[in-house]
Chain A
């Protein structure tokens, strides 16, 4: 796969050479080569989704064959997924986790990021490094003691162990917001201070409007992180199907709801759909946000 993927890239840069005599021919060939390569790659990226969708509407019998194109279009498969599983309950739980998680994260992380970006104090770099360390910490490292804390509070089997910590700040979001906030010139906050604005109102009136793209990005990232999270819900709610999220339900779907690939693919598609729809509306926010994470100096 590696070689399959990188080989065309080399071929593209090499392809124009034989015809390099006429620069115009060369430019056209180069154009064709790069765009052909992009189309081929697009097929590779979209292909899996197309096959998933095609399989999702196949009849159960046809799924057992090697056919790739459905003979009959069984739209009822999607209804069957709802009938056979508690998809709606999982969806509700996922919204609870992602929605509250994101709201709590914003509430707690924005002030922390603001303090780190604006206030001058000893240990400010240390605090920043602590944020990075925590951001990079594999969640499994502290899993046992953290689990025991929630077990003692009798909150295992619920999603609260995943939601409540968001009230205490999320390292990745703090990091990303801080990276954005340090780029806002100090003059803005100094001006507000001179006008007699308290720090709180400076944050609300001056910083928040300017930091809207960064805030939108961390909110979306957090929402998607919660939406996609499998490890967290697995750790805390596996034993209580009433509190499963979409990820957990889908992971158990094939084993629990007997086998059929068409239904499994229909379920997978239903889980993907909201994400894809949101992405098409909020593409710009994502793309700007990702660029922010990439430590541009």
Chain B
């Protein structure tokens, strides 16, 4: 930097243009696949559109939203996932990572085993779980062995979401890795000092580990929530495989089997837009999804602002 003492301001201005040039593919992508579609979504939300006729209907789509009982079912299900599935994933991921830090032998092996399921293609994993959790499947045989009446998981509206939660916990590999890296970053000497002061394992975890990893905890919770808001594939596959039907445009199958219990907001949006071809109404649902996920993205951005100021060179 000290070399270019001749005219720093000139190349600084030059870098702005250069940056624009280098980033131009992304800028085009941003406009075509983000800015324009977002504006168009707002526009279409005031229209009835089925790919052939476009008709202005004012607030009709929004009014329908208020009386559409399936949208409320889907919002309730999505909230369920946020409230139960996300914490289950985060806590389980943290727990498994913590266990890995305690192991003396076979850490690499166990890490591989715990991480592997998260790479299994989602569809294959979900199809497998529908089979494993079938009424006479391996899991239920095990539960009955313990003398507990086993539920009909994906065939029972009260148990389908817990079934999906188990699937999610099976695939916590990424969360676990992030926590593992964070836990290993906690300075050792803090623990040693605490141990000398007589702090037990739980006390050490609460007073040292938790404060140090809290940014990572926040990060995985927020991203977990954002992914829960767009939860789609697992719910769709589970309900269709359990019901034994395939999906195609114009199909009369209402997703969410059994009894709308697995219908998520993203899934209902997809069904409305691309199976019923009520594109205008789908845009209303899209805007709702956007509004909610933006709130969580903003939380994430605040985190990155702090991070960026610290780490920027």
Residue from the list B12, B114, B128, B215 in contact with A41, Cβ < 8 A:
B114
Which A residues lie at the B interface, using CB under 8 A?
1-2, 5-6, 9, 12-13, 30-31, 34-35, 37-38, 41-42, 44-49, 51-52, 55, 66, 68, 108-109, 111-112, 114-116, 119-122, 124-125, 127-134, 136-149, 151, 165, 167-169, 174, 182, 185-186, 190, 194, 199, 224, 227-228, 230-231, 234-235, 238-239, 246-247, 250-256, 259, 261, 264-265, 268-269, 271-272, 275-276, 279, 283, 286-287, 290-291, 293-297
Among residues of B, the one whose C-beta sits closest to the C-beta of A166 is B29
Q: Which residues 274-299 of B have a CB within 8 angstroms of A?
A: 274, 279, 282-283, 286-287, 289-290, 293-294, 296-297
CB distance from A189 to the nearest CB of B (A): 10
A66 lies within 8 A of B303 (CB): no
B286 lies within 8 A of A111 (CB): no
A296 lies within 8 A of B181 (CB): yes
SS class of chain A's interface: helix, strand, loop or mixed?
A: helix
Give chain A residues whose Cβ lies under 8 Å from the Cβ of B293. Answer: 136-138, 141
Give chain A residues whose Cβ lies under 8 Å from the Cβ of B310. Answer: 297
B215 lies within 8 A of A169 (CB): no
A239 lies within 8 A of B19 (CB): no
Residue from the list A66, A190, A194, A228 in contact with B123, Cβ < 8 A:
A228
Give chain A residues whose Cβ lies under 8 Å from the Cβ of B300. Answer: 132, 136
Indicate if B103 sits at the interface (CB-CB under 8 A): yes
A235 lies within 8 A of B30 (CB): no
A1 lies within 8 A of B88 (CB): yes
B15 lies within 8 A of A151 (CB): no
Max chain B CB contacts within 10 Å: which of A13, A142, A247?
A: A142
Distance in angstroms between the alpha carbons of A26 and B112 in the assembled complex: 28
Distance in angstroms between the alpha carbons of A232 and B307 in the assembled complex: 33
Please name 28 pairs of A and B residues whose Cβ atoms are closer than 8 Å in the assembled complex, sorted by A: A1-B162, A1-B169, A2-B84, A13-B201, A38-B106, A41-B114, A44-B170, A45-B116, A45-B170, A48-B128, A49-B117, A138-B229, A141-B289, A142-B33, A148-B40, A148-B279, A230-B123, A234-B247, A239-B248, A246-B123, A247-B123, A255-B244, A283-B112, A287-B177, A291-B181, A293-B178, A294-B216, A295-B219
Distance in angstroms between the alpha carbons of A254 and B128 in the assembled complex: 11
A115 lies within 8 A of B32 (CB): no
B33 lies within 8 A of A250 (CB): no
Give chain A residues whose Cβ lies under 8 Å from the Cβ of B193. Answer: none
A290 lies within 8 A of B237 (CB): no
Which B residues lie at the A interface, using CB under 8 A?
1, 3, 12, 15-16, 18-20, 22-23, 25-26, 28-30, 32-34, 36-38, 40-41, 44, 51, 84, 88, 91-92, 95-96, 98-100, 102-106, 110-117, 119-125, 127-129, 131-132, 136-138, 141, 162, 165-166, 169-170, 173-174, 177-178, 181-182, 185, 201-202, 215-216, 219-220, 223, 226, 229-230, 232-233, 236-237, 240-241, 244-249, 266, 269-270, 273-274, 279, 282-283, 286-287, 289-290, 293-294, 296-297, 300-301, 303-305, 307-308, 310-313
Distance in angstroms between the alpha carbons of A189 and B102 in the assembled complex: 41
Known A-B contacts A48-B128, A293-B178, A295-B219; the reply to A112 vs B95 at CB < 8 A is no
Distance in angstroms between the alpha carbons of A165 and B26 in the assembled complex: 10
B99 lies within 8 A of A45 (CB): no
Among residues of A, the one whose C-beta sits closest to the C-beta of B28 is A168
> Top 8 closest A-B pairs, CB basis?
A168-B29, A294-B178, A142-B37, A138-B230, A145-B40, A115-B22, A169-B26, A255-B246
Known A-B contacts A34-B102, A138-B293, A140-B266; the reply to A297 vs B232 at CB < 8 A is no
Among residues of B, the one whose C-beta sits closest to the C-beta of A250 is B123
Max chain B CB contacts within 10 Å: which of A124, A131, A186, A290?
A: A290
Give chain B residues whose Cβ lies under 8 Å from the Cβ of A133. Answer: 34, 294, 297, 301
CB distance from A290 to the nearest CB of B (A): 4
A151 lies within 8 A of B51 (CB): yes
